[in-house]
């Protein structure tokens, strides 16, 4: 089959796990004999990036504001570019329409794809990108809560998890231009072009079901794109207990709560892996603590040792997560996890029994002490983590379920061509 992935961000032009997942899924489909093309918006990355990326471009096929590159992994990547990159992204953010990207997106999506899978489309073209697809099967993967929240992550006023919607006030306090299209019929109207929403977690599926978007939602947990090999090749770490955080170094992730805690636990090490607006501030504040290391961003292909060397991964997110990729990566490395009870963070832990879910600072400290002082507990949870990866969160399982869902949609559309729209208002 011919697939097209549409995503605002795609490596190396990306900031988080959603782009890594799009790349991993694309490569997995190619490995299974399918053809995959990806469309992403380099303009959106440049608008938010702290520094430009010097990316090699080979075999370029220039089409107005698009550069298509055939990668060594067999994926054809279309990078949307324009000389007015900031204006292009602002137009799409304000209108949820493709704007300057429209001609290129129409040209690409008019091609004979079998499946178009939309991912984070907030700045690549917005909601009005959805009806441009001519594919018989159209999917929308819910990596974030953008359909429901202008901040994407239910992070209110830049300081707390959203407890009640006050979107315009929150946008103004968060430095985000208010999006008045959210109060029109555009979301439901555009989503009619989508056959199904794919949710990585039950939590996120529930939030979107409450919004009554008019499309079927399927829960399809994502997978770890890294597999460091058999569990026995990665025994529990020796020496001092070492805990690791992997992700964006931002306030919504709760990462700034970890250094002061570990400053009072000099017998343990803390590694913080990632970049973000708090990184320099935290590095300066805790420079005198040798047990707290800020390792900065790491290439995804080099991140497995960070998990394997850790007693546990800690994910202290305050904003509700969808289904954190770092938990699945830790599981692949046989590393237990300690997660704050926020959104879909706990679902993989509940399913596997390979970690703690905490709700208070006291519970977090108790979890750290338990794993650091009880090697047998850590060893048992390590086995559970790896078993969960092998049973639930690996590439083979995901691709099988993903292709099975596509076949189901195609069969349903053939047998009942009007069924999917029958319940729409």
Angle, vertex CA 344, rays to CA 373 and CA 303, nearest 5:
60
pLDDT band at 85 (very low <50, low <70, confident <90, very high): low
Q: Are 118 and 139 in contact (CB under 8 A)?
A: yes
Position 233 scores a pLDDT of 46
Find the range with the poorest average confidence among 43-52, 150-159, 320-329: 43-52
pLDDT above 50 for 62: no
State pLDDT tens for residues 96-124. 999 889 999 999 999 999 999 999 999 99
- Report the alpha-carbon distance of residue 324 to residue 169 in Å, rounded: 28
Nearest to 5 by CA among 17, 23, 20: 23
Position 60 scores a pLDDT of 33
- Who wins on pLDDT, 209 or 50? 209
Phi, psi for 129 (deg, rounded to 5): -75, -30
Domains annotated on the chain, with CATH: 2-223+396-421 (3.40.50.2000), 231-391 (3.40.50.2000)
What is the percent of the chain where pLDDT is above 90? 79
Dihedral of CA atoms 50, 54, 55, 61 in degrees, nearest 10, equals 110
- Report the alpha-carbon distance of residue 304 to residue 298 in Å, rounded: 10
Q: Are 315 and 349 in contact (CB under 8 A)?
A: no
State pLDDT tens for residues 173-188. 999 999 999 999 999 9
DSSP string, 75-133: -EEEEE--TTHHHHHHHHHHHSS-GGGHHHHHHHHTS--SEEEE---TTTT-GGGGGG-
Q: Which helix (H) or strand (E) holds 249?
A: none
State pLDDT tens for residues 208-247. 999 999 999 999 999 999 888 765 545 556 679 999 999 9
Q: Are 89 and 42 in contact (CB under 8 A)?
A: no
What is the gyration radius of the CA atoms in the chain, in angstroms? Answer: 22
Q: Are 125 and 105 in contact (CB under 8 A)?
A: yes
């Amino acid at each position: 089959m011919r697939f097209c992935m549409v995503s605002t961000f795609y490596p190396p032009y990306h900031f988080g796990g959603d782009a890594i997942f799009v790349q991993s899924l694309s490569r997995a489909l190619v490995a299974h004999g399918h053809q995959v093309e990806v469309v992403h918006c380099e303009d959106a990355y440049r608008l938010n990036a702290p520094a430009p990326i010097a990316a090699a471009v080979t075999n370029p096929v220039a089409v107005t504001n698009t550069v298509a590159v055939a990668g060594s992994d067999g994926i054809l990547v279309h990078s949307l570019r324009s000389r007015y990159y900031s204006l292009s992204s602002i137009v799409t953010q304000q209108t949820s329409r493709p704007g300057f990207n429209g001609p290129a997106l129409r040209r690409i999506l008019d091609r004979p794809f079998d499946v178009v899978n939309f991912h984070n489309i907030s700045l690549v073209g917005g909601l009005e990108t959805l009806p441009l697809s001519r594919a018989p099967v159209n999917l929308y993967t819910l990596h974030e809560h953008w359909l429901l929240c202008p901040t994407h992550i239910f992070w209110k006023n830049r300081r707390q998890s959203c407890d009640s919607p006050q979107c315009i006030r929150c946008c103004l306090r968060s430095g985000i231009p208010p999006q008045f299209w959210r109060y029109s019929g555009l979301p439901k109207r555009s989503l009619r072009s989508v056959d199904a929403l794919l949710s990585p977690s039950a939590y996120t599926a529930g939030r979107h079901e409450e919004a009554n978007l008019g499309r079927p939602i399927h829960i399809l947990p994502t997978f770890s794109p890294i597999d460091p090999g058999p569990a026995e090749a990665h025994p529990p770490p020796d020496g001092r207990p070492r805990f690791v955080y992997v992700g964006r170094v931002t306030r919504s992730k709760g990462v700034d709560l970890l250094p002061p805690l570990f400053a009072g636990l000099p017998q343990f090490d803390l590694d913080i892996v990632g970049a973000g607006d708090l990184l320099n501030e935290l590095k300066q504040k805790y420079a005198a603590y040798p047990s707290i290391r800020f390792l900065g961003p790491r290439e995804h292909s080099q991140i497995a040792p960070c998990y394997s060397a850790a007693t546990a991964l800690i994910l202290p997110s305050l904003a509700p997560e969808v289904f954190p990729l770092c938990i699945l990566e830790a599981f692949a490395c046989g590393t237990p996890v300690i997660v704050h009870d926020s959104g879909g963070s706990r679902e993989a832990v509940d399913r596997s029994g390979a970690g703690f879910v905490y709700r208070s600072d006291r519970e977090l400290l108790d979890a750290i002490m338990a794993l650091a002082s009880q090697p047998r507990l850590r060893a048992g949870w390590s086995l559970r983590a790896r078993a969960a990866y092998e049973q639930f969160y690996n590439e083979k399982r995901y691709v099988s379920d993903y292709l099975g869902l596509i076949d189901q949609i195609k069969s349903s559309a053939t047998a009942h061509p009007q069924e999917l729209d029958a319940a729409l208002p």
